[in-house]
Amino acid sequence: MDQNGINGAHTGEEELMSKLPGYHVEALWTVMHEMVPKAPQPKAIVAAWKYDELRPILLQAGESVTAEQAERRVLMLKNPALNTVYAGLQLILPGETAPAHRHQAFALRFIIEGSRAFTAVSGQKVTMEEGDVILTPQWQWHDHGHEGDSPMIWLDGLDLPLYHYFPTHFAQPYHEKRYPSKPIHDSPLRFPWADMQAKLDDNPDDWARSEYETRSGGHISQTLGAHAERVRAGKTGVVPRNTCSHVYHVRSGNGMTVIQPPDGREQKVQWTSRDTFAVPAWSKITHHAAEGGDAYLFVLSDRPVLDALNMYVSDEAGADKLRPT
């Protein structure tokens, strides 16, 4: 094609493209590489939050913002990031009550520090201790209170980002501060850490993983899942690459995690007990536990919703055998 032909083609394409907005259409061929990429392209980025830095800020919030003002006194862990998983650090002080409400979102909490606080869900008053996982299923009346004598802090996990795509989320306050409840000692909504650690320690490998599951054996919710990992002291754990977005919280131990997101830019996160970090989907993850003690990690992910939609993919069986499971 001569130069005149090339110029004519360019002019014709420019004229064509200028018409499209008026018809509310767009040319797929101009964004094909974005719509059908060669690998998952999460918007999430690697991010880390040091507990020793955030705890004083959270306690300062406890001094300056009352429970009545805040309703839920939470520092959201912001990441431009997690496309499907929300996490935050929540504080409740002795004698306080976080008023009863219910909402469409599923929620769980991993207890970081403190004792003798409680969550009441649909009439079940469950005492919370360090390391516990407590569930708040969708649309269940729930409130929190503190009958102890020191601050109680936990990691909140919710599926709130999903509601950007399904704009159906809302909350409803209860007409009283507390929803009527009675203490229960064996609740299916509570997962004690001792039980999870025993499962991990039964595994002789350097790296172990165990899922949090309902008593019937399924995911803890339809949208948000959780598991725990253990890395032996001085050892390495390689996590099979998969399409889940992850939030890691360090239950105990010290170490480093090497993360290689889909963009190939490797990043290293140094962590210690009670730190939290986010890992984008389809990242290569390698944990290195320091000498001196095993490392235990609590993990939030969107695995249940990916399973339900047949979107979960892992390279555990090898890169040449990738397929939804």
φ, ψ dihedrals at 27, nearest 5°: -80, 115
Same domain for 129 and 70, yes or no, is yes
Q: Which range has the worst mean pLDDT, 5-9, 166-170, 237-241? A: 5-9
The distance of Cα 269 from the centroid of its chain, to the nearest Å, equals 17
Same domain, 139 and 88: yes
- DSSP codes of every residue in 66-122: -HHHHSS-EEE---S--SS-EEEEEEE-TT-EEEEEEESS-EEEEEEE-EEEEEEET
The mean per-residue pLDDT over the stretch 208-233 comes to 97
Does residue 315 register a pLDDT over 70? Answer: yes
Pick the range with the lowest mean pLDDT from 25-34, 54-63, 235-244, 263-272: 25-34
Question: Are 83 and 186 within one domain?
Answer: yes
Give kind and range of the element (H or E) at residue 13.
helix 3-19
Q: Give CA–CA dist 128/77, Å, rounded.
A: 22
The amino acid sitting at 209 is: R
**Assigned domain for 6 exists:** no
The neighbour count for residue 53, using CB atoms within 10 Å, is 9
Claim to verify: residue 220 and residue 143 sit in the same structural domain: no
Residues 163-170 have a mean pLDDT of 85
Determine the average pLDDT of the residues in 102-111.
94
Is residue 130 within 8 A of residue 193, CB to CB? The reply is: yes
Residues 207 and 303 in one domain: yes
In a domain, 183, yes or no: yes
**What pLDDT score does 6 carry?**
45
145 and 209 fall within a common domain: no
Residue 24 lies in a domain: no
> What total number of domains does the chain contain?
2
Q: Could you tell me the pLDDT band of residue 99, with boundaries at 50, 70 and 90?
A: confident
Mark whether 90 and 201 lie in a shared domain: no
Share in percent of the chain as helix, strand, coil (round to 5): 20, 35, 40
What pLDDT does residue 165 have?
82
Q: Are 187 and 240 found together in one domain?
A: no
Which of left, alpha, beta for 180 (phi over 0: left; psi -120 to 50: alpha)? beta
Rama region for 108: left / alpha / beta (φ>0; ψ in -120 to 50; rest): beta
> Does the pLDDT at position 2 exceed 90?
no
Rounded to the nearest 10°, the torsion over CA 317, 215, 139, 117 is: -110
Both 70 and 176 in one domain: the answer is: yes
pLDDT digits over 120-155, tens only?
998 899 999 999 999 999 998 988 889 989 999 999
C-alpha span between 177 and 242 (Å, rounded): 42
Q: Is residue 26, in this structure, part of any structural domain at all?
A: no
> Which of 191, 222, 241 is at the close of a domain?
191
For residue 73, give the CATH number of its domain. 2.60.120.10
| Tokens 């200028």 found at | 18
Residue 177 vs residue 62, higher pLDDT: 62
| Phi and psi angles of residue 134, each rounded to the nearest 5 degrees, phi first | -120, 130
Specify if 113 maps to a domain: yes
Whether residues 167 and 208 fall in one domain: no
Given a cut of 50, whether residue 280 has pLDDT beyond it is: yes
The percent of residues above 90 in pLDDT, for the chain, comes to 64
Shared-domain flag, residues 118 and 163: yes
Domain that holds residue 120: 48-191
Q: What is the largest CA-CA distance in the chain?
A: 84
Boundary (domain end) residue, out of 191, 210, 228:
191
Q: What is the mean pLDDT of residues 156-185?
A: 86
Give the pLDDT score at 10: 62
Pairing type for strands 47-49 and 276-279 reads: antiparallel
For residue 22, is it within any domain?
no
| Structure token digits, residue 66 | 């009352």
Nearest CA to 139 out of 70, 221, 213 is that of 221
C-beta separation of 289 from 231 below 8 A: yes
Asked which of 191, 217, 251 is the last residue of a domain, the reply is: 191
Instruction: Let me know whether 72 and 145 are in one domain.
Output: yes
Residue 3 lies in a domain: no
In a domain, 15, yes or no: no
**How does residue 319 score in pLDDT terms, banded at 50, 70 and 90?**
low
